[in-house]
A = this chain, B = another copy of it.
Amino acid sequence: MDNKEKLRKVGLRPTKQRMIIADILLDGINRHFTAENLQNEINSSGNSMSIATIYNCLKKFRNCGLIKQVESSKDTAIFDTNINQHHHFLDEETGELIDIENDEVNLHKLPKIPQGYLNNGVEVLIKIKKQI
């Protein structure tokens, strides 16, 4: 399925700008990036785009499930092209994130979900620190 179809499938019009971003992000490679990172990639690809459009597009892509946003206490939003349930190592010093595939983690005991709620995804974060 090409990117135009992918966009239509989730109900997004395949505009020029969304296609440029889809061509960069939806290539099957897993990566973590910020809006600014993406803008640099857009520029490097010989295109250009308003930062407002980039934020707009990232929000739509995220809400439509084409990308994910990572839970992170950094001041800049971090997005992830890996939309499968998975986990992360985080080097708090540098902010570097490394993917952990879902089958590398095994949760044996999970707490009872609070009354009236449903489980909507489990994320494990393993903070790591450079050895000295």
Question: What residues of chain A have their CB less than 8 Å away from a CB belonging to chain B?
Answer: 69-73, 77-78, 87, 89-92, 98, 100, 104-111, 113-114, 116-131
Contact = CB atoms under 8 A, between A and B. Distances in A.
Q: How many copies does the complex hold?
A: 2
- Kindly list the 7 A-B residue pairs having the minimum CB-CB distance in the complex, ordered from nearest: A106-B109, A108-B108, A104-B111, A117-B128, A120-B129, A106-B108, A120-B127
B121 A127 contact: yes
A4 to B, nearest CB: 29
A114 B127 contact: no
Contacts of A116: 130-131
Contacts of A92: 120
B110 A105 contact: yes
Contacts of A126: 110-111, 113, 119, 121-122
